[in-house]
Chains A and B, each alone.
Chain A
Amino acid sequence: MDLNRRNFLKFTVATGTMGAASAVQKVKASTPKPDSGDWAGVLLDTTVCIGCRKCEWACKNINKLPTEPIESYEDKSVFKKMRRPSAGAYTVVNQFENPKSPEKPYYVKYQCMQCIDAACVSACIVGALKKDAKTGAVIYDPWKCIGCRYCMVACPFQIPAYEYDNALTPQVRKSTFCYQRLSKYQGRPACVEICPVQAMTYGKRSELIEIARQKIRTYPDRYVDHIYGEHELGGTAWLYLSGKPMTEMGMKKFGERPIPTYTEPVQHGIFKHFVPQISLFALLGGIMWLFKKRDEVEGKREGGEE
């Protein structure tokens, strides 16, 4: 093993200092997220929803998923079981007891929340899941996807479903926010459009929050004082108003911290100009050189390798 000592030592020292110098800045690094003020959202008032499940049909219809005729959705027996969105149904509605008036149960529709700082987007190894810059929808590109399913591990709402029965071209399946129809604010998602009682309002997310606050102020008896999705995990495009806490209706209690902030600072620390890597390389090289020299001094070993 021949290494030019003097140059090597120089290299070691130089990169080592570089590493130390930038280590300080590096700690704080994290991605600036694009401004979400203009992104779209849907305000879902669960106290208005009548559980007709027409949105389930509309969603399958627009996404070309196999479905029974719309009449069959009047069947209320499906409510006996809690259901989850799946590869064959991007959205489902569940029924919950209403303590205020038991004859009028609450209904909750679930689908991908289109998180502002989405865990699935941060997790995807090839960028197959991306935020649509205009609407904020999280959209999926099956041609990039390698099928590692890390997005499913990452999603705190357990939304992405997988086509486990497809041998050759399985896809990650979740609500698309109907982003092709949205083209800014002209179109509306199919589920929003079909709703006979207008339980859902589509619009600019920041404006929806204002509307929701107004509603809570006007009818304090009707709503709990919380807009689920406003702050949860950094905020989601879907916002829920409810008569009892959403955490009692199939949603989990979350903090405000976006999921990507758990891993991304570490990632950026690691990747920033490769400084830590280069420094560690230099450090290891330095140790190698030192020990080798010591061995030579002690006469244990002539020359280098071999």
Chain B
Amino acid sequence: MSGHIQAAPIEKKFFTTGVKILIAIFGIGMAFGLYRFIFSLGSVTHLNDQYPWGLWIGVDVSSGVALAAGGFTTAALIHIFYRDKYAVIGRPAHLTAMLGYTFVAIGLLFDLGRWYNVWHPLLPTMWQGNSVLFEVGMCVMLYLTVLYIEFIPIVTERFIGHSPKWIDAILKFLDRIFNKIMWIFIILGVLLSCLHQSSLGNLMVIAPYKMHPLWYTRVMPLLFLTSAIAVGLPMVMFESIWASWSFKRKPEMDVLSPLSKVAAVIIAIYFFMRIIDLTIREAWGFAFEGSLQSNMFFLEFVVGLVIPLIMLLFEKVRRSPKLLFIASALYILFGVLLNRVNVFFIAYQPQYAEKQYVPAIGEFAVTIGLIAALILLYRIIVSIFPILPAHEKQA
């Protein structure tokens, strides 16, 4: 993929303070995680019979899927719409998606009561086509496979000419084959993404009597898909600027500025969809009830949607790495991540619940630990494989 741009492994010191902190956070998270596997879900989480899903499903799984959308949006942009100038961000976006989905799968294991049965949906005897969750599961699994296949050319590029002759021959052979058929996987990846991003939104449609009207709508699948497409580009901008800062390079503003224009358009579409949906369903009244739900709605809608959208309308914001970073971060964290959290457990209001579910410390620890692990792996992989652009390598 994205072969036109010269990319190269990063050659920087690995064990910085930041990396050490990440390792510590990861360690703490895994301690809680281990505790959960030995002493049960109930010993670490605040989940109960009223709230069967919590932080792990809301963040590790569904937000993870949403935030990894950078992979398929850039793939579509670069390879399907042939916007070559964006090729430079293709590989980092692909790597994030690959790692993101890997961690979605790992995060899911923590949440499943019988995690060792996670492969059951693969058995045709257990296929359950009526289940929305089945579709989400299958698509995520297939997409993860596709993401790994798409990574092969990066591996071959790294090792061709750096390995013994016979391995070299195999790699070259692989490279040639994948060059020919990669387009199939690229389209397949985009297709599978569209499918599961939207069916993720269909998951809660099955609970019409439990969901708060500010979020419950039959078009949730469409809203999820649009917001996922819309989060892909800010995610890429966010990462790219962050990576530039932490490796002390100049941010790729010549690519990111035009990209932010595309992002603004898609976010605007999502914004209007939300407005129209809330208006048609006459749900605005609920926004002012002063409850936890209405406050969270405002946080999501104003901080996560209106503010970043307005920011992105200004040329000045689109040209400044710092402001662009802030606008992207707001939309990512409050517009999409908070939306998933809201849908999966703030909007979920079981009638017999005695008190609102609030995640336990252990749940936070595991989630943050997994995020730390993801960043660490990203850091390791970019120093082994040619992912980030090669120019200004030793800046």
A-side residues, CB < 8 A to B, are 1-3, 31, 84, 86-87, 119, 122-127, 144-150, 152-154, 156, 158, 160-167, 169-170, 252, 254, 259-260, 262-264, 266-268, 270-271, 277, 280-281, 284-285, 287-288, 291-292, 294-295, 300-301, 305-306
Contact = CB atoms under 8 A, between A and B. Distances in A.
B81 A170 contact: no
A31 B50 CA distance: 29
A261 B191 CA distance: 25
A247 B184 CA distance: 55
B207 A124 contact: no
Given A167-B37, A306-B179, A146 B118 contact: yes
B88 interface: no
Contacts of B3: 305-306
Contact of A281 (B52, B188, B218): B188
Contacts of B182: 1, 305
A305 B182 CA distance: 9
Contacts of A146: 112-115, 117-118, 120-121
Contacts of A259: 206, 208
A262 B218 contact: yes
What are the 6 tightest A-B residue pairs by CB atom distance, in nearest-first order?
A147-B113, A164-B42, A149-B52, A152-B52, A167-B40, A147-B114
B120 A144 contact: yes
A179 B34 CA distance: 38
Contacts of B45: 164
A287 B81 contact: yes
B202 interface: yes
Contacts of A84: 49, 352
B53 A149 contact: yes
A169 B114 CA distance: 6
B145 to A, nearest CB: 16
Given A86-B49, A259-B208, A277-B195, A148 B112 contact: yes
A152 B126 contact: no
A85 to B, nearest CB: 9
Interface string B174-211: 00000110110011101100110001001111111110
A146 B48 CA distance: 17
Contacts of A123: 131-133, 206
Contacts of B199: 266, 270
Nearest to A292: B82
Nearest to B189: A284
B27 interface: no
Given A122-B206, A291-B81, A301-B84, 20 more contacts: A126-B126, A126-B128, A127-B127, A145-B114, A146-B115, A147-B112, A150-B52, A150-B133, A152-B49, A153-B53, A154-B206, A156-B207, A158-B352, A164-B40, A170-B114, A259-B206, A263-B202, A267-B135, A271-B135, A295-B82
Contact of A124 (B128, B186, B203): B128
A180 to B, nearest CB: 22
A153 B81 contact: no
Contacts of A260: 130, 206
A149 B113 contact: yes
B48 A126 contact: no
B242 interface: no
Interface residue SS majority, chain B: helix
A265 B90 CA distance: 36
B208 A262 contact: yes
A122 B205 contact: no
B80 A291 contact: yes
A7 to B, nearest CB: 13
B138 to A, nearest CB: 10
Contact of A164 (B41, B203, B206, B218): B41
Contacts of B290: none
Contacts of B286: none
Contact of B47 (A160, A164, A292, A295): A164
Interface in B117-162: 117-118, 120-121, 126-135, 137
A21 B242 CA distance: 48
B123 to A, nearest CB: 8
A163 B49 CA distance: 9
B205 A262 contact: yes
B362 interface: no
B209 A252 contact: yes
Contact of B207 (A153, A163, A280): A153
Nearest to A262: B205
Contacts of B43: 165, 167
Interface in B1-48: 3-4, 37-43, 45, 47-48
A198 B42 CA distance: 39
B221 interface: yes
A266 B350 CA distance: 24
B181 to A, nearest CB: 9
B79 interface: yes
A86, A154, A271, A301, most chain B CB atoms within 10 A: A154
B64 to A, nearest CB: 16
A277 B191 contact: yes
Contacts of B41: 164, 170
A3 B117 CA distance: 40
A294 B83 CA distance: 12
A86 to B, nearest CB: 6
A271 B129 contact: yes
